[in-house]
């Protein structure tokens, strides 16, 4: 069964996530999916996500700009059974359950031992400025509804059935958890040795199939197979904090959002219209 993971991002890192999702070494161009988007280039998609952010009605210091959502299949599934038609159907069902007013970009990745689908999702409904986030109950409903659809339509896929609402993706034993920790530690150490900045480090981890989680908008650790690994525990001497901070992309996005809002205010004032 497909496993759903949703990671909130408190910084407007649209470009880096979209570039990762559309990496040509990982995808087939026929397996790119969009909702409420018109573009067909990375630059165009980034612009549309920024434009949708401009509609935000209430801003907060800890606001969520986007979600990185992942639908993955267990490595033990028979990949021959996972056809393009099946993926098309599952992606469209996931988007339908997530909501047709969402701004979403997704693509299938086949570069690892298991097939997975990555989505960049705006934290706002399309051109309303209202939150497209999910509370705990809605998140559980999304996961269980998607799982039921999967079970009914594709019963031949039986591996890694998640137990939603039980606090983790798998119920593992000590040896399994120890092995996961070993694999994560090795990848984190290798990525850290190559990284020149914090953004570079996170990008290397993404390329290795490891995705970070945040606390108060700050990357805090890795979440892998339902287990969280804090950087403060797996890197010595506050290693992550010691890496230089590179925020050029985020600063550029914030400046662009502010500039669009300023132009809209000027236009509304000139024509005596209502700001949007």
What pLDDT, on the 0 to 100 scale, is given for residue 161?
52
Q: Is 41 exposed, middle or buried (0-12, 13-18, 19+ CB in 10 A)?
A: exposed
Distance CA 244, CA 114 (A): 33
Q: Which helix (H) or strand (E) holds 116?
A: strand 116-122
Q: Are 221 and 239 in contact (CB under 8 A)?
A: no
- Please tell me the pTM assigned to this model: 0.79
Domain assignment of residue 12, yes or no: yes
Into how many domains does the chain fold?
1
Domain assignment of residue 132, yes or no: yes
CATH number of the domain residue 51 falls in: 3.30.930.30
Work out the number of other CB atoms within 10 angstroms of the CB of residue 175: 8
Domain assignment of residue 157, yes or no: yes
Query: Over the chain, what is the mean pLDDT?
Result: 87
Domain assignment of residue 200, yes or no: no
Nearest to residue 249, comparing CAs of 202, 188, 193?
202
Nearest to residue 67, comparing CAs of 3, 116, 113, 21?
21
* Residues near 239 by beta carbon (within 8 Å), at least 6 away in sequence: 192, 231
Give the percent of the chain with pLDDT over 70: 90
Domain assignment of residue 205, yes or no: no
Domain assignment of residue 148, yes or no: yes
Structural domain boundaries enclosing 82: 3-170
Domain assignment of residue 251, yes or no: no
* 62-86 pLDDT per residue, tens: 899 999 999 998 888 888 889 999 9
b/e map 192-209, b = 16+ CB within 10 Å: beebeebbbbbbbbbebb
What pLDDT, on the 0 to 100 scale, is given for residue 273?
54
Q: Are 217 and 62 in contact (CB under 8 A)?
A: yes
* 149-176 pLDDT per residue, tens: 999 999 988 774 555 555 444 334 567 6
Domain assignment of residue 237, yes or no: no
């Amino acid at each position: 069964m497909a496993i759903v993971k949703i990671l909130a991002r408190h910084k407007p890192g649209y470009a880096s996530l979209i570039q990762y999702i559309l990496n040509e070494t990982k995808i087939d161009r026929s397996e790119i999916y969009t909702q409420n988007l018109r573009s067909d280039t990375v630059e165009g998609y980034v612009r549309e996500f920024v434009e949708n952010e401009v509609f935000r009605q209430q801003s907060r210091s800890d606001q969520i700009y986007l979600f990185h959502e992942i639908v993955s299949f267990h490595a033990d599934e028979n990949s021959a059974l996972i056809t393009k038609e099946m993926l098309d159907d599952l992606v469209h069902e996931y988007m339908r359950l997530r909501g047709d007013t969402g701004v979403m970009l997704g693509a299938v990745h086949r570069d690892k031992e298991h097939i997975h689908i990555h989505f960049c999702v705006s934290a706002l409904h399309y051109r309303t400025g209202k939150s497209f986030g999910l509370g705990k109950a809605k998140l559980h409903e999304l996961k269980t509804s998607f799982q039921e659809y999967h079970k009914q339509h594709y019963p031949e896929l039986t591996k890694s059935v998640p137990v939603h609402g039980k606090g983790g993706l798998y119920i593992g034993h000590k040896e399994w958890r120890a092995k996961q920790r070993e694999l994560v530690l090795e990848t984190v150490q290798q990525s850290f040795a190559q990284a020149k900045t914090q953004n570079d480090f996170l990008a290397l981890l993404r390329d290795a199939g490891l995705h970070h989680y945040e606390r108060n908008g700050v990357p805090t650790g890795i979440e892998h197979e339902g287990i969280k690994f804090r950087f403060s525990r797996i890197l010595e001497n506050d290693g992550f904090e010691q890496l230089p901070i590179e925020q050029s992309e985020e600063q550029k996005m914030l400046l662009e959002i502010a500039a669009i809002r300023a132009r809209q205010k000027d236009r509304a004032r000139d024509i005596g219209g209502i700001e949007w």
